[in-house]
Structure 1
Amino acid sequence: MPSTLTAPHEYREEIRKSRFIALAAPITSPEQAQAFISGASDLAASHNCWAWKLGSQYRSSDDGEPGGTAGRPILAAIEAQGCDQVAVLVIRWFGGIQLGTGGLARAYGGCANKCLQQAEKRLLVARLPFTLQCSFSELALVRLRVLEAGGLVEAETFGAGGVALHVALEGEQAGAVQQHLAGLSKGRIVLTPL
């Protein structure tokens, strides 16, 4: 099962006089990945190479290094560590010694790999989308029951008759949550799969 990072992480290494800093962070959208990369990049460095993976979407950049020697090895490190929803930026300050294409791939991929190995991770749980309706007075308890089951409240729409919620729950938790909500509302609150 894939995992993501609980918080940003940093790893530093010097390889043949070149300084490398690998920065990794959890992401939830391509825009967030690009914002992390733009914000953490050092324009004074020789190269700011990166890769990110978000489900089936992924991107990488060699930032001036020979093609395939930086971005792809960083992406390979993300996949080798079983990570998803992660962006990794590896910043290099050239130290005057050429590393060659194989050396560059090992350096970038190795730094990314070590950074991700050391970072604290959490498993990504597959959740299914549901909708439900509740009264205003029931909203706090509904939120609590969903969160206690490891679910997420993704959206709330307030109307004259109450609140419509979009929630995401683990498949095996949906039945237990439905029982709790039915007991709370005397059978009126029903989880409906989307």
Structure 2
Amino acid sequence: PLAPAAAEASLEVIVAQYGGILADSASVLVVCRQWTRGPDGSVAEGGTTVDVRLSRAEPRWAVTELHPGDAGPAAASPPSAVARVLAEPRIELPPEAAADLRSGTVHDSVLEAMLRLAGPYTLSVSVVRTGHPLDVFGTTRPSDHPLGRAFDVWRIDGLAVVDPGTPRQLIESFMRDAAAAGSYNVGGPVALPGVGNRFFTDDTHHDHCHVGFDH
């Protein structure tokens, strides 16, 4: 997807976040926006999210695989909430995530939670369905992302989750509000108490918040 048959192309990496990290292997999700120039001079905007796999090596980690996302074609009649999310200025979606919504494969629970969280926050979404590992990295458990039941947020109110200067109170508040919006599985860089292990933190989620749903 990032090597089109175009005379010119320009690429922006919006964000790179962990899809998973272990002692000797990692998944980094590289969220890209791309512009291509056609023969008539017109410019088209697109992009994808690439699941970059790495293996520990010396003197630096080595890239071993690239898995670009492919959201597929837009649905003829996507859920009505899709248009509301796409039109909401407080929800920032990269190209692959927007294509996921247009494909009609994202559950209403995700769409409604995005809209609810966009009341008190501005959300910069990184990944929704495609471009994410199929299984929770390092396990055989299916991830909620490819099922259209999760989204990741890398920036809240313009502040990066990974930035040590971002107030922990803001991230904690967002995680609690995500749970109140119906998420059964909220991950992030801080540990929060909750009934039924609703909240979690680990090395993978120190740079984003994960909001997952079971339906």
| TM superposition score normalised by structure 1 | 0.28
Greater percentage in helix:
1
| TM superposition score normalised by structure 2 | 0.26
Greater Cα radius of gyration, structure 1 or 2: 1
